[in-house]
């Protein structure tokens, strides 16, 4: 049964507007985005991509020498070049080991699986040789399994068996990359298709919290937002958050790593028209942005970026194959334009006020959700929290306001969700030597590029929290804008339509346009001029990036209207 609230009022476009934090919205897919898609989406503001990293897809036999990393290497290289972060979803056994991919490894297979996981984490750790010569190093988050409670990918699951498997896998990942964010499987609201003993979201999540150490081992509580409509999808967030609050886990963030509706394919509870797919994306994401503190919601990802043909899998058609925002031939659906709006830097209409019952606090909740989250400046997000009952949380990085380019970093040590005094902290900037520090720590950054801060603390009551890390991108170079087309409007010969694009290391925050020397005004591509009189005219556009750098020399186009 899908869990939903009885009445949920969605955000409406008539309300005010809010701007999503960079990386708040992202996408996943049946396959990795192409180089062209990655570059285009990054230019539009995309900062988070999720993709599968399957054991059997990488390692073709029992021999570790059979591992072929070319697929994830391409995605990681694109992330470095286009400045977006990655979630790698580790899901499924290798068929050569288990006889099927739809099972969890056990026994000797578990040891081989953990060896593969350790190699993957080491390969994409920030200090590995893979990143040498790359323009930036993205944050790589590891997700352990997919929809484990549904019973399809993990037959007859139990909270105890998954919790044990997750903690072992998370420990393996962190042995190779101590600062790696590791998150649990996304939990589905319903048992999956052809499921074997699937368990509904709430009892399974409650069972996970009952396992000692599980809540401290994961860096987020994760669900999948598939539901019959936006209200039901929001109801899943409410249901999960209530379980978190009932277990005194208010400081933990909540993520949605998959959600969506199909625009074609077999009739199902999740199959709608293309227009309704766009409407559902707009309604649900507007409300999730407006009400994010209600759930301490940190990330929301749509699945899938692009449709895929059932023939690829050799199966009957399935609604999930048709949930893409691009058709199989790459042509955009109506919802694709909404995706571009939500990943961009422009304000989202209707997302400034939470109109759900109770607003930013769940009705009847015993404690309000925490709004603290690890963030990076200049359009990059990152960070990790500690485990085993105590956590260090990096609360934020502020842009430098002086010529020495200091970036004050604030952090706190939390025990059971409450800040505690800690006698000693140590900080490491860009993986250099540790030094004594206190919050706020002034990180001196003289060069542009990707930077990171790691904070560790001394033991308290015999418990030493693992380090917490955050990364951010520093950019001093202003953006450049190219006018990509300039055409006569089909409806009026004295009206012109300009499209333009700017690509910048930190991403473009906003554009400003002016016509014939008038005042600068905020604008977006495509820009349509008002009716123009005969004669010579001048159109000018400039961009401002997410680091606050404004284009020094605006892009100018001179033209005539006859």
pLDDT band (50, 70, 90) for residue 514: very high
Instruction: Tell me, yes or no, if the pTM score tops 0.75.
Output: no
pLDDT of residue 459: 54
Q: How far is CA 181 from CA 52, 121, 126, 379, in A?
A: 16, 11, 12, 19
Cα distances from 25 to residues 107, 280, 343, 396, 499, in angstroms, run 38, 15, 6, 19, 24
* Model pLDDT for residues 395-438, shown as the tens digit of each residue: 544 444 333 456 667 776 654 444 555 557 888 888 788 888 87
CA 199 to chain centre: 26
**What pLDDT score does 275 carry?**
95
Q: Is the pLDDT of residue 3 over 60?
A: no
Token pair 């996970």 in the structure block, residue: 208
Lowest pLDDT segment from 1-15, 82-96, 283-297, 403-417: 1-15
- Inter-CA distances, 170 with 88, 97, 143, 187, 449, Å: 13, 21, 9, 17, 29
Domains (range + CATH), the chain:
17-349 (3.20.20.80), 390-474 (2.60.40), 481-561 (2.60.40.10)
Over residues 276-317, the pLDDT tens digits come to 999 999 999 999 999 999 999 999 999 999 999 999 988 999
């Amino acid at each position: 049964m899908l869990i939903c609230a009885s009445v949920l009022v969605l955000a409406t476009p008539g309300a005010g507007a809010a701007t999503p934090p960079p990386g708040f919205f992202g996408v996943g897919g049946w396959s990795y985005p192409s180089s062209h898609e990655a570059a285009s989406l990054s230019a539009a503001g995309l900062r988070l991509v999720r993709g599968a990293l399957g054991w059997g897809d990488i390692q073709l036999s029992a021999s570790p020498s059979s591992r072929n990393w070319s697929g994830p290497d391409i995605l990681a290289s694109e992330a470095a070049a286009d400045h977006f972060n990655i979630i790698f979803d580790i899901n499924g056994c290798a068929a050569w080991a288990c006889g099927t991919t739809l099972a969890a490894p056990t026994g000797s297979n578990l040891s081989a699986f953990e060896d593969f996981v350790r190699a993957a984490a080491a390969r994409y750790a920030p200090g590995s040789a893979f990143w040498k010569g790359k323009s930036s190093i993205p944050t790589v988050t590891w997700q352990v399994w997919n929809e484990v409670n549904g019973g399809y990918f993990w037959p007859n699951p139990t909270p105890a068996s998954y919790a044990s498997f997750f903690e072992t896998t998370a420990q393996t990942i962190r042995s190779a990359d101590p600062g790696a964010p590791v998150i649990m499987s996304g939990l589905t609201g319903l048992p999956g298709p052809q499921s074997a003993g699937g368990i509904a979201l709430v009892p399974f999540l409650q069972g996970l919290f009952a396992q000692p150490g599980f809540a401290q081992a994961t860096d987020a509580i994760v669900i999948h937002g598939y539901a019959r409509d936006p209200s039901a999808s929001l109801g899943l967030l409410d249901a999960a958050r209530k379980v978190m609050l009932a277990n005194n886990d208010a400081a933990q963030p909540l993520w949605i790593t998959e959600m969506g509706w199909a625009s074609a394919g077999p009739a199902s509870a999740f199959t709608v028209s293309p227009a309704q797919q766009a409407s559902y994306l707009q309604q649900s994401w507007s409300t999730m942005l407006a009400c994010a503190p209600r759930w301490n919601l940190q990330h929301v990802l749509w699945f899938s970026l692009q449709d895929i043909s059932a023939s690829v899998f050799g199966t009957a058609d399935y609604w999930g194959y048709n949930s893409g925002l691009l058709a199989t031939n790459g042509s955009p659906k109506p919802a694709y334009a909404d995706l571009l709006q939500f990943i961009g830097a422009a304000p989202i209409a209707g997302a400034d006020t939470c109109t759900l019952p109770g607003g930013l606090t769940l009705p009847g909740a015993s404690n309000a959700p925490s709004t603290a989250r690890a963030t990076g400046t200049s359009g990059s997000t990152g960070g990790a929290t500690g485990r085993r009952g105590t956590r260090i949380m990096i609360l934020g990085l502020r842009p430098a306001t002086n010529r020495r380019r200091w970036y004050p970093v604030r952090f706190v040590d939390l025990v059971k969700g409450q800040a505690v005094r800690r006698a000693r902290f140590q900080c490491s900037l860009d993986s250099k030597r540790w030094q004594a520090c206190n919050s706020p720590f002034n990180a001196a950054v003289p060069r542009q590029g990707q930077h990171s801060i790691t904070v560790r603390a001394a033991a308290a009551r015999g418990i030493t929290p693992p380090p917490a890390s955050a990364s951010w991108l520093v950019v001093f170079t202003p953006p450049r804008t190219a006018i990509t087309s300039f055409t006569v409007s089909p409806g009026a010969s004295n009206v012109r339509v300009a499209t333009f694009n700017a690509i910048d290391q930190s991403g473009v925050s906003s554009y400003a346009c002016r016509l014939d020397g008038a005042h600068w005004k905020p604008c977006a591509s495509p820009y349509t001029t008002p009716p123009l009189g005969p004669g010579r005219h001048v159109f000018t556009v400039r961009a401002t990036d997410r680091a606050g750098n404004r284009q020094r020399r605006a892009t100018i186009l001179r033209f005539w209207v006859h």
